[in-house]
Amino acid sequence: MIEINDVSYSYLGIRALSHISIKIEAGEAVAIMGPNGSGKSTLLKLINGLIFPDTGCYRFQGQEITENQLQDPIFAKKFHQKIGFVFQNSDTQLFCADVYDEIAFGPRQMGLSESEIGKRVNDLLELMQLDAFHHRSPYHLSGGEKRKVAIACVLSMNPEVLVLDEPINELDPRTQRWLVDFLIRLNKSGKTLITSTHNLELVPEISTRSILFDENHGILADMQTQKMLLNTDLLIKANLVDEYYHIHDGEDHVHFHDHIF
């Protein structure tokens, strides 16, 4: 479904992706991990057609995605409908006057009728326990509520692929739990899930496969998440743990130490 072939990308001279090749099939749950600044967000932007490879090529469902291709409004609409992106920063993603309009924005662009849109929005508000926020302004919600609304906005277009950039950061433990369960359900229902995260505890739940970036913006490893978690050397290389990391009795019980003092 997603085919990235030897792609490199720089922001005005700043290297962000270096010879990346990845293949993702429909229905997979993939985690993107790596140190800060290694290029995770950049890769996700590329997958969503917001930036284009300097060299190499990106295909979505067999179709090469280029700037020219996305100039075609009909193609662009179809492409963006199939793939939804939840940004790292929810603030810029929310730009409507109230939560209802926010969730309705995508379906309106798709040209659905107002009554159908109303049904979709209300279903989502209920599903995501956002009923009370109908007429609230998105700017004045808490961080976790904003994240939920941002996810609802993307789901209202019923995409096949869901791309999330560090969705579990800044959420309280209960909301984290809720979101992880929600993502698992979405994946079970057939949606392809691509998530960037630093969270080692939750990564085995939201992914079966992990792609690890190194500091040089290349791919360090692409393997089963469970296997990756057992490979301490690899995790240290990717800045995901420090030398104090260990696993008890080989079970996937991982704990973290505070090294403040």
Contact between 52 and another protein (CB under 8 A)? no
The partner in contact with residue 37, picked from another protein, Mg ion, ligand ATP, none with C-beta cut-offs of 5 to 8 angstroms by kind, is ligand ATP
Strands of 167-228, DSSP E: 192-196, 209-213, 219-224
Strand partners, 195: 31, 164
Contact between 41 and Mg ion (CB under 5 A)? yes
Q: CA-CA distances (angstroms) from residue 229 to 58, 124, 196, 226, 257?
A: 29, 34, 16, 5, 17
Among 3, 28, 101, 205, binds another protein (CB under 8 A): 101
Q: How far is residue 222's CA from residue 209's CA, in Å, rounded to a whole number? A: 7
DSSP H or E run through 145? helix 143-155
Strands of the chain, DSSP E: 2-11, 14-24, 29-33, 55-60, 63-64, 83-86, 161-165, 192-196, 209-213, 219-224
Among 61, 81, 226, 239, binds another protein (CB under 8 A): 81
Q: How far is residue 165's CA from residue 32's CA, in Å, rounded to a whole number? A: 9
Q: Minimum distance from CB of 123 to another protein (Å)?
A: 18
The partner in contact with residue 167, picked from another protein, Mg ion, ligand ATP, none with C-beta cut-offs of 5 to 8 angstroms by kind, is none
Measured from the CB atom, the residue of 34 and 159 that comes closer to another protein is: 159
Contact between 92 and another protein (CB under 8 A)? yes
Under rule CB under 6 A, how many of the chain's residues touch ligand ATP? 11
Q: How far is residue 76's CA from residue 95's CA, in Å, rounded to a whole number? A: 21
Q: Minimum distance from CB of 2 to another protein (Å)?
A: 16
Pair 24, 2: CB distance under 8 Å: yes
Q: How far is residue 261's CA from residue 258's CA, in Å, rounded to a whole number? A: 8
Strand partners, 158: none
Measured from the CB atom, the residue of 2 and 16 that comes closer to ligand ATP is: 16
Other residues' Cβ atoms within 10 Å of the Cβ of residue 225: 21
Residue nearest Mg ion, Cβ-based: 41
Contacting range for Mg ion; rule: CB under 5 A; set: 38-46, 119-127, 147-155, 234-242: 38-46
Among 54, 64, 91, 172, binds another protein (CB under 8 A): 91
Question: Following CA atoms 3, 36, 178, 253 in sequence, which dihedral angle do they give, to the nearest 10 degrees?
Answer: 100
Among 63, 66, 109, 142, binds another protein (CB under 8 A): 109
Site for another protein in 152-171 (CB under 8 A): 153-154, 157
Site for ligand ATP in 22-41 (CB under 6 A): 34, 36-41
Among 114, 123, 126, 181, binds another protein (CB under 8 A): 114
Chain contacts with another protein (rule: CB under 8 A): 45, 48, 50, 73, 76-77, 80-81, 84-85, 87, 89, 91-93, 95-97, 101, 105-106, 108-111, 114, 139, 153-154, 157
Chain contacts with ligand ATP (rule: CB under 6 A): 11, 14, 16, 34, 36-42
